[in-house]
A and B are shown apart, each in its own frame.
Chain A
Amino acid sequence: MNEIILMFHVLCGVGCIITAVWLFVDVLHAGAANRARIRRLSWAAFIFMWSAFLIGGYWYVFDYPADKAIILQGPWPFAHSFFMETKEHLVIMLLLLASYLPVVTANNLAANREARRLVLWVLAVIALLGLMIEGDGATIAMGVKVALLAGQH
């Protein structure tokens, strides 16, 4: 069950990144035709991010301590001391950015070039920060794996 929770956490995070990239392209071509879709997608990114955060937060608080102990005894202790520590704090900024997205896409992006550029920057940071955090998660998982493999030899 824990693994399913964790996979759903990753799935929602990827969903947020994909939605941000999709939105980026839509905002580049913002007009009357896609205004409603831009609003819906910004709420989708918001929901994906909050879902990823709440699921990941639950897993981090209740299930991660066991993984942490394994990582710290293995050959990749930095998987926790650097990657998890940065991930758990950088993700808060990602949460704020995703929460800000529906606010900023409520403006008339087709008519306002500056607002459009603001949204593009927010989306670019969401996508880049999201990818970085996904990479952190992969390194943490690898930290557990190498620790378990090292324990078998």
Chain B
Amino acid sequence: MENIAVSKYTISFGLSLALSSVVNALLVVVKEKSHTVTAVMQKITGYQWVTHVAIILILFAFFGWWFARINNGQGPKIAVNRLTKTIVAGIVAGGLVITGFYLIAD
């Protein structure tokens, strides 16, 4: 086991950050491809983008909190170097999907 001497919230919110970034990108694709989804998101807050932001922020907070509770409240056991790679991979993947979608698919 590598060094995990960081707070459990560093791990839990780091994983949540990577996950939320990917979900953010997938939500872009889904809402741009489905008028129904866009209409529902528009209806919730009045602006589909505001709903989009709210969903991602809620997911980030929820997963950060939830990941911290697993392992009897100790949080996930993951090496910090692996966490770093996961966060960077999540951000890069999310960024590429969003940029690629508007560049090619939309």
CB neighbours (8 Å) of A104 from chain B are 6, 10, 14
Interface residue A21 (Cβ < 8 Å from any Cβ of B): no
**CA separation between A121 and B98, bound complex, in Å?**
21
Interface residue B87 (Cβ < 8 Å from any Cβ of A): yes
Q: Are A122 and B87 in contact (CB under 8 A)?
A: yes
Interface residue B99 (Cβ < 8 Å from any Cβ of A): yes
**CA separation between A76 and B24, bound complex, in Å?**
27
* Candidates A97, A103, A112, A129; contact of B9 at CB < 8 Å: A103
The main secondary structure of chain B at its interface with chain A is: helix
Interface residue A141 (Cβ < 8 Å from any Cβ of B): no
In the complex, how many residue pairs between chain A and chain B have their CB atoms under 8 Å apart? 93
Interface residue B62 (Cβ < 8 Å from any Cβ of A): no
Interface residue B67 (Cβ < 8 Å from any Cβ of A): no
**CA separation between A88 and B103, bound complex, in Å?**
15
Interface residues in B1-41 by Cβ distance below 8 A to A read 2-3, 5-7, 9-10, 13-14, 17, 20-21, 24-25, 28
Stretch at the interface among A2-10, A12-20, A35-43, A78-86: A78-86
Interface residue B72 (Cβ < 8 Å from any Cβ of A): no
Q: Are B56 and A112 in contact (CB under 8 A)?
A: no
Q: Are A93 and B10 in contact (CB under 8 A)?
A: no
Interface residue B81 (Cβ < 8 Å from any Cβ of A): yes
Q: Are A96 and B14 in contact (CB under 8 A)?
A: no
